[in-house]
Amino acid sequence: MTLMTPAPLDQEDEEMLVPHSDLVEGPQPMEVVAQADASSAVENQPVEDPQTSRFTWTIENFSRLNTKKHYSEIFVVGGFKWRVLIFPKGNNVDHLSMYLDVADSATLPYGWSRYAQFSLSVVNQIHNKYSIRKDTQHQFNARESDWGFTSFMPLSDLYDPGRGYLVNDTCIIEAEVAVRKILDYWTYDSKKETGFVGLKNQGATCYMNSLLQTLYHIPYFRKAVYHMPTTENDMPSGSIPLALQSLFYKLQYNDNSVATKELTKSFGWDTYDSFMQHDVQELNRVLCEKLEDKMKGTVVEGTIQQLFEGHHMNYIECINVDYKSTRKESFYDLQLDVKGCRDVYASFDKYVEVERLEGDNRYQAENHGLQDAKKGVLFIDFPPVLQLQLKRFEYDFMRDTMVKINDRYEFPLQLDLDRENGKYLSPDADRSVRNLYTLHSVLVHSGGVHGGHYYAFIRPTLSDQWFKFDDERVTKEDTRRALEEQYGGEEELPQTNPGFNNTPFKFTKYSNAYMLVYIRESDKEKIICNVDEKDIAEHLRIRLKKEQEEKEDKRKYKAQAHLFTIIKVARDEDLAEQIGKDIYFDLVDHDKVRSFRIQKQWPFTLFKEEVAKEFGIPVQYQRFWIWAKRQNHTYRPNRPLTPQEEAQSVGQLREVSTKVNNADLKLFLEVELGPDLRPIPPPEKTKEDILLFFKLYDPEKEELRYVGRLFVKSSGKPIEILTKLNEMAGFAPDEEIELYEEIKFEPCVMCEHLAKRTSFRFSQIEDGDIICFQKSAPPESEEQCRYSDVTSFLEYVQNRQVVHFRALERPKEDDFCLELSKLHNYDDVVERVARRLGLDDPSKIRLTSHNCYSQQPKPQPIKYRGVEHLSDMLVHYNQSSDILYYEVLDIPLPELQGLKNLKVAFHHATKDDVIIHNIRLPKQSTVGDVINELKTKVELSHPNAELRLLEVFYHKIYKIFPPSEKIENINDQYWTLRAEEIPEEEKNLGPHDRLIHVYHFTKETVQNQMQVQNFGEPFFLIIHEGETLAEVKERIQKKLQVPDEEFSKWKFAFLSLGRPEYLQDSDIVSSRFQRRDVYGAWEQYLGLEHSDTAPKRAYAANQCSKTDGTQSLGSETFLHLPSNRLLKRE
């Protein structure tokens, strides 16, 4: 047995990793795949340098082994016992099976677990480079105590003496094992384990985090950011330099992950939607441009250019005359093609590829006319920090959508851009600069085109140690994980039953690099420089240290919270300050009153002394009332504290007052004032005494205010206190006033008239009740006030709603605001909108509600009188909005709702224009009516031309509408409605003629399967009995006007159920099609296979715009697009 330091693990897994089983008969269970996934789910959990050893096992007389299983000696790594297990004749397969086994698994305690990365090798004793090595990782436990490769290598190769794996009947097996600590995600400390901290994910910001970590770990950049002038008066959320300085400082000195909210706010990105609208390249450019601008006129001016800016030369050089045109351009990053390129060098080769301009594409050279020329790009200079954006996301014109390119794409640790005698450099390039680069960062995207996760592999000092920065979490990684595993491409799972010679299953790796950062070797000493506190402005250090102290204080505050009670004390002054301004209902907002943080064990009497210090009210003049929440959801002072309660501790009193563990103790402080306005002892309160609070309403000013409180006798009557109330209000003693009791305000306002001559007891008035009063108004003045009594005013306050109105065609901009009532009905709302717009007819207003989740208008407008109240218009599921969208129609909405609007694309018989017409007809109309209406709008090839209406979807014709079909249920939101003239030849079909569908298509491979992709405009074609493909092709070429050279490249196929059967010129086309006039798009058609050279059909994208009924209706959209001759070169 030999133990030695291992070489790095550097080969890719080649097959399924499975625990061995003595009972593997037939296919292995599906859970094997899940287990393989589970092993990779431990991904990156190791965080400390592993305890690693290599074990070499020499097995003599190998071919004579007659046991099914054979174990090695036990070896120890990381304090654990291991052994290698082999099946010399295969574990029910015709391959050598080999596993790493926990040697003492049977005696380990319940629940044991250990994690290891390991490789197993069969050494080639003739040529070591042909040794077979496979590596993996696994978390071993009682259920899976061994792990490895059932099909390690074919037995035929192993036992072939000439191959070198068995020499003198001796086999040498090596195992490299690295035992690592299992990471507990929740207790993992990035700073402790790696020296670095992560960034918190705000939601959809992981792409930003990976870029920020990359920039932070370019020390020269960080130093320049620190040296940007900022002042103590700047706010991070309004200053990108300060926000970035703050972020970098925290990344450098914090012990925990750092938030990015201040930085994103400084960009003006303060909604989730903002992050969804940007990508890494855009963020990088926004950040660099803003920093470059802020650096102007400072000591760090030009830093961005010095680090990231390179230059290339675009040139066009004539071949036959002496003429050359050049243009110098700068770049901060380079976009490299991934598709069709195996590695970075291939992308650079493609970048500088020479394009020949000849034939119809010749170059117009100044003074030389049209000339054959060469066009290309060469680099004048590369920057010290080279940022390469890999084009992993591309627009697929065939599918009319964005796709992610997951192809395998390699990138080197060292990148030599001077290779092959400087093939990428222009003649003007400075050849004395050595363009040799070292890889610094790999930014990775894991997922598909519509979402995924971003993280970065970075080596901050360009050493061999890589780190993975995955939002909050930073882990140590090896070179293989940072490079080879981010190449992308496909990975092959081994056969689940190798004996049956079935095809291995391949799956696409969706995690791959999309941005690379290289640092030039000759500049790395300057760029990877030392950055310390002296580089950071003093005001920034003070500010950030203060922030840290405040954060620590908050932490301590929270940690000690269980020892304290918060007591919130409301006073008359609070009620007077808040009622009629911040609040209208109840008495006070407790979050805006003075609060005291008091230790729970303190006697309540000590708290009263604190109150005396704060408010200047001696202890003997204080009386405290407990607040209570009533059944009608109002919150009022309920009763004064008893002497016994005041003798308790603060903690005991809080438990008496509230059953909620974390609730604050809320008190009302009653202070009575004498004639000289000095505090006096509170009067003795009997059961007969009731404490009432009073609010005064002024109908003319529409104002409500607090005027004070009084004790009354429950047997007394309101008429007895009218003089006192007039005094409190500042009225004449004999002023006639009306009284109302404010009872509740949820779910609706209840404020009832209070009889003056009925006792308080009979009116069920009790402690804490609120009486509102106002002057008695004569009947004529009631008409002059909007809200003549306090009840109507409170209802208005409860239901008032400021609504932001936006024009539907400008859904992001507020046009105007109106203060409305939630109780307004449909007519009230549109009438107010029409009045604001100066429109005489409110029925021409159409409203659309707001979707709170998408922040867009809802797809369907509000029907005429389709909702009862404004509140119904504003609600979206359980959320309420304050936005409505409006349109001004050219006819009243009730009339429009009886109409159907259709967008019809008219294809002219002889011209290339496609014109979209909006046809508006009564819902009971037919397709025939649509065609008649269309005839009045379009230009026909001849007066007697007949039209038909087709339904086209994904470049196939699905239906010819019969003229009698009602239009009410026709959907033009997702399908294209196409109108065209019926060719004369189709009107006179012979008995043996066929009308067939003709579609354009290409083939492409999707997940290892060939798929047909249709594109372009489909059409009908008559084929005659006995007609050959050659004859049909001639008619198609004439119809589509395709040049001979291009048409010669086209292939023709009969397609049924998506499978192409290619045709020869001599084939009889009609024999392929069944005897029917028109076939469904999903059945058979004649396919034209060629590349899609036509421009995008913009009108298809316009289909979902909602314009029906607006003033723009009846207009036509002219689109100069190919129609029948859709593939003719423009």
What pLDDT is stored for residue 1094 in this prediction? 62
Active site residue 206: yes
What pLDDT is stored for residue 181 in this prediction? 67
What pLDDT is stored for residue 551 in this prediction? 82
- pLDDT tens per residue, range 938-951: 888 888 888 999 88
Query: What average pLDDT does range 58-62 have in this prediction?
Result: 93
Structure tokens at 682: 């509170």
Catalytic residue among 20, 138, 171, 206: 206
What value does the mean pLDDT of the chain take? 83
Residue 35 clears pLDDT 50, i.e. is over it: no
Q: Which amino acid is at 345?
A: Y
pTM, to two decimals: 0.48
Structure tokens at 631: 């059944």
Residue 675: cis peptide before it, omega within 30 degrees of 0: no
Query: What average pLDDT does range 508-514 have in this prediction?
Result: 82
What pLDDT is stored for residue 945 in this prediction? 87
What pLDDT is stored for residue 313 in this prediction? 93
CA distance 763 to 583: 26
Exposed, middle or buried, 818 (CB in 10 Å: 0-12/13-18/19+)? Answer: middle
Reference 820, options 811, 829, 812; nearest CA is 829
Q: What is the dihedral of CA 394, 395, 397, 398, to 10 degrees?
A: 60
Query: Which pLDDT band, with edges at 50, 70 and 90, does 744 fall under?
Result: very high
CA distance 583 to 573: 14
Name the β-bridge partners of 980: 907, 948
CA distance 97 to 15: 12
Q: Which helix or strand (DSSP H or E) is residue 959 part of? A: strand 956-960
Residue 31 clears pLDDT 50, i.e. is over it: no
Catalytic residue among 227, 368, 453, 539: 453
8 A C-beta contact, residue 673 and residue 680: yes
Query: Which pLDDT band, with edges at 50, 70 and 90, does 757 fall under?
Result: very high
8 A C-beta contact, residue 1021 and residue 1036: yes
The SS3 assignment for 118 reads strand
Residue 899 clears pLDDT 50, i.e. is over it: yes
b/e burial code for range 600-630 (CB count within 10 A of at least 16 → b): eebebeebbeebeeebebeeebbbbbbbbee
What pLDDT is stored for residue 128 in this prediction? 81
- pLDDT tens per residue, range 270-292: 544 444 445 666 777 777 777 87
Query: What average pLDDT does range 284-308 have in this prediction?
Result: 81
Contacts of 565 (CB under 8 A, 6+ apart): 597, 598, 599, 600, 650, 651, 654, 664, 665
Query: What average pLDDT does range 202-215 have in this prediction?
Result: 78
- pLDDT tens per residue, range 329-371: 999 999 999 999 999 999 999 999 999 988 888 888 888 888 9
8 A C-beta contact, residue 568 and residue 535: no
Contacts of 31 (CB under 8 A, 6+ apart): none
Lowest mean pLDDT among 221-225, 346-350, 531-535, 1106-1110: 1106-1110
What pLDDT is stored for residue 1128 in this prediction? 29
What pLDDT is stored for residue 545 in this prediction? 82
